[in-house]
Structure 1
């Protein structure tokens, strides 16, 4: 199981990288805009410095044609490093770009996925990750959980090495649903991650333990004994 953070906010990345078992960071132009990352490559290099080389960094191309996407990918790899996962939309031009980039040994994450058919096309292109947009699919009356389950089953049957990296979540339950359905990885926004620990019952339980301890050993911590 892989858990990634979908953000370009450096403070958030530092915090959650220290506290969670992060596998990597995913970004896209919308996320970079939200983080006010005017100098995109400086921001991406800063993210890499925080997470290190053992964790993955996913960066989106914006070219419309396959040739432009390949050029975008080359620039990203040049400016950041050769281990970046290049995010390519799963469109006809994107699928062509995936084929060209895989021939060069580039790591590929197929994005903008709303259907099972797109995932099978990306799988046949031998991408590293396929990123179905869970909540956006749900909003279009697509059974995102069933789509992931079907693709996971087919991937296992065919021996595919393409991993399902579920993305675009509205709440924690959707993250759980994606993993239950067979996604090998998820990328989650900072707001959704924070909400997972905002349950008042959690704080109440912790406070209760602390009070009971103080009743036993007033003014002392466990390490003081």
Structure 2
């Protein structure tokens, strides 16, 4: 199970990896627009420096033809490093690009997945991650969790070296249901992951524990203060 954050905001990334078991950072043009870095590649290099090589970094191409997507992938690797996962939308040309990149040994995240057959095509093409859009699939009247479960079964049945990284969430419940359905990873905005801890019951439990402790040893006397 992997928790990945969908942001390029430097302060959000620092905060998230400091507090949560985050194993990677994903981005796309819409995510980049929210931060709007003046120097895109320098910004991404900063992110790599912050998260280190032990975490994955996923950067999306923007061209619509396979040849141009591959050129952009090469530029991303030249500017940052060859360990970056190249995010490729699973369009007709994108599927061609995925196969071209995998022949070069490039790590690929197949994104913008709305349909099970899209996912299966990307799986057969050799994608390392497949990113179904949970909330958007649901908004179209389809079941994203059925898609995740079926593709996860196919990965296990045929022995593919691939992970489903569920994306596009509006709340914590969708994340939990995606993982329960068989997604090996999720990528979500930091603010959604932090919602897990915005629970008054958690705060009350901590306050009650502290009150019981201080009633015995004195207000403000912590474990490190005991003699």
Interval containing the TM-score (normalised by the shorter chain): over 0.9
Aligned to 1:8: 8
Aligned to 2:156: 156
Q: Using the alignment, how far apart are the partners of 1:214 and 1:42 within structure 2?
A: 50
Aligned to 1:208: 208
Ranges in structure 1 where 5+ consecutive residues have no aligned partner:
none
- Give a deviation string over 1:94-152, Cα, whole Å, max 9, x none: 00001111111100000000010100000000110000000110111110111100111
Q: Using the alignment, how far apart are the partners of 2:45 and 2:223 within structure 1?
A: 41
Q: Using the alignment, how far apart are the partners of 2:185 and 2:24 within structure 1?
A: 10
Alignment map for 1:72-221 (pairs within 5 Å): 72-218=72-218, 219-221=220-222
- TM-score normalized by the length of structure 2: 0.97
Q: Using the alignment, how far apart are the partners of 1:107 and 1:157 within structure 2?
A: 22
- TM-score normalized by the length of structure 1: 0.98
Q: Secondary structure at the match of 1:223?
A: helix
Deviation, 1:38, is 2.5
Deviation, 1:170, is 0.7
Q: Does 1:64 align with 2:64?
A: yes
Q: Which aligned runs of 4 or more in structure 1 are off by greater than 4 angstroms?
A: none
Deviation, 1:36, is 2.0
Alignment map for 1:9-48 (pairs within 5 Å): 9-48=9-48
Aligned residues: 225
Q: Secondary structure at the match of 1:62?
A: coil
Q: Using the alignment, how far apart are the partners of 1:143 and 1:58 within structure 2?
A: 26
